[in-house]
Chains A and B, each alone.
Chain A
Amino acid sequence: MKANMFLALNRCNDILFYIKFVDGDLHVVGLDSSILTECLIDEVNKLDRDILFVPRRIVKADEQSLGKCFEFSESVLIGCIPLDTGGARRLAKIHKLSVVVVIPTSIRIVNESQINFMHQSGGRNKYIEIHMQPFLKTFTAPNLNVLIEKSFYLLGNIIERALKLDVGIIVSTASSERSELLSLTHLDIILFYMGFSKRERRLVMEVYPTELLLTWLSYR
């Protein structure tokens, strides 16, 4: 089951364009909850395909404001970007479903030791979600100060460690603009470039997203 767990587009037309042309064989799409209610009413109903839409919300939280990551978690699947190490540790240990989002600013916090904590906390309800678009944006920017190799190395380490310890890890495109849309094939190619085998890529892109979805539905 092909799943793109987060798409940061904020216009119904762009979402339709993505579903129709870019990823024609998609089964699960995660969209921001506000845009989802707006689009479902008129536009998406016209599609003659079965697609599962998952209401998502991405929030930033530090150790004090960690409650934000669990507000309305029954109706929305919340992804949490930890702003400090303490927050990330608490997210790893809490006995609730938690999805830790990795973007270029949080890659220093969500490192291998964080994955170890997630593994030790037990229970299969801790997930790491990598948003690829922000990474690729920094990689393709004409800025010589960005250490592309290092970011790729850290990213590869995170994925490898999570796969090794069987901590749920998913990769979503998180495309925010129509001209910069990424398809799941692009993600597959990038993971292939990073050296992951076919089985590992399937785990990251198909098996774990489905598992996350089932876990979330069982928690509600």
Chain B
Amino acid sequence: MIILLIYIALASLVLSLTSIVIVVLLYRDIYRSISSLIDEFGLTLTTRRRYRKVKRYILAKVICSDNIDVKKLGEDIKRHVNSFLGQVVRMECNLTILSLRPDVNRAIFRVVGSSICIKYSLVALSLQHLVAGSCIVIPLRTSGLLSRIKKFINYKR
């Protein structure tokens, strides 16, 4: 009787192990078939978010050799950065100037788009003066909260 029970236990063990192996081997196929099924029923739009937008604020130091009109300066920087980013990146990333304070040499930029946009925008802001020969923009701090950025507007002159 005991031997029979041991046999049954061993058989169930082997069965469970083989089922685990089968699941591991077929995992990718099962996943693919389930995802295609979800796709077939049009559930993708509810289960997955394809467009993930991130909003970040960049505090930057703006250094100009001589006094320039604030409005013109803002437009200049915007134009240079946008030409530096190019049309393809601008489809995904949106970089705008929020505020510009010439008295403390600080400006706040807003980046909206996918997460890689922050990197693109930082590089574009850093290198725009090499192309256009305009004011030098030095990004100091990035944050997702405008209030936190505003605390640093007087951060070292």
| A residues with CB within 8 A of B | 17, 21-22, 24-25, 136-137, 139-140, 178-183, 185-186, 189-190, 192-193
Do B138 and A185 have beta carbons less than 8 Å apart? yes
User: CB-CB < 8 A to A193: which residues of B?
Assistant: 119, 122-123
Output the nearest chain A residue to B122 by Cβ-Cβ distance: A189
In-complex Cβ contact of B123 among A17, A137, A181, A190 (8 A): A190
Do A140 and B127 have beta carbons less than 8 Å apart? yes
Instruction: Count how many pairs of residues, one from A and one from B, have CB atoms less than 8 Å apart in the complex.
Output: 44
DSSP class of A's interface residues: helix, strand, loop or mixed? helix
User: CB-CB < 8 A to A186: which residues of B?
Assistant: 126-127, 138
Interface contacts beyond A22-B136, A137-B130, A183-B138: sample of 4 additional A-B pairs, CB < 8 Å, sorted by A = A21-B63, A22-B63, A180-B130, A189-B122
Nearest Cβ on chain A to B58's Cβ, whole angstroms: 11
25 A/B residue pairs, CB under 8 Å, sorted by A: A21-B63, A24-B156, A25-B156, A136-B127, A137-B130, A139-B127, A140-B127, A140-B131, A178-B65, A179-B129, A180-B129, A180-B133, A181-B129, A182-B126, A183-B136, A183-B138, A185-B139, A185-B140, A186-B127, A190-B123, A190-B126, A192-B119, A192-B122, A193-B119, A193-B122
Return the 6 tightest CB-CB contacts between A and B, nearest first. A186-B126, A179-B133, A140-B130, A189-B122, A189-B126, A140-B131
Q: In whole angstroms, how far apart are the Cα atoms of A24 and B63 in the complex?
A: 12
Q: In whole angstroms, how far apart are the Cα atoms of A25 and B139 in the complex?
A: 15
| B residues with CB within 8 A of A | 63, 65, 119, 122-123, 126-127, 129-131, 133, 136, 138-140, 156
User: CB-CB < 8 A to A183: which residues of B?
Assistant: 136, 138
Q: In whole angstroms, how far apart are the Cα atoms of A183 and B130 in the complex?
A: 12
Q: In whole angstroms, how far apart are the Cα atoms of A189 and B136 in the complex?
A: 14
Nearest Cβ on chain B to A15's Cβ, whole angstroms: 14
User: CB-CB < 8 A to B126: which residues of A?
Assistant: 182, 185-186, 189-190
Q: In whole angstroms, how far apart are the Cα atoms of A22 and B62 in the complex?
A: 9
Output the nearest chain A residue to B136 by Cβ-Cβ distance: A181
Q: In whole angstroms, how far apart are the Cα atoms of A105 and B126 in the complex?
A: 24
Output the nearest chain B residue to A139 by Cβ-Cβ distance: B127
User: CB-CB < 8 A to B65: which residues of A?
Assistant: 17, 178-179
In-complex Cβ contact of A189 among B130, B133, B139 (8 A): B139
Q: In whole angstroms, how far apart are the Cα atoms of A183 and B122 in the complex?
A: 13
Q: In whole angstroms, how far apart are the Cα atoms of A59 and B63 in the complex?
A: 32
Nearest Cβ on chain B to A182's Cβ, whole angstroms: 8
User: CB-CB < 8 A to A190: which residues of B?
Assistant: 123, 126
Output the nearest chain B residue to A142 by Cβ-Cβ distance: B131
User: CB-CB < 8 A to A137: which residues of B?
Assistant: 130
Q: In whole angstroms, how far apart are the Cα atoms of A190 and B127 in the complex?
A: 9
Nearest Cβ on chain A to B81's Cβ, whole angstroms: 13
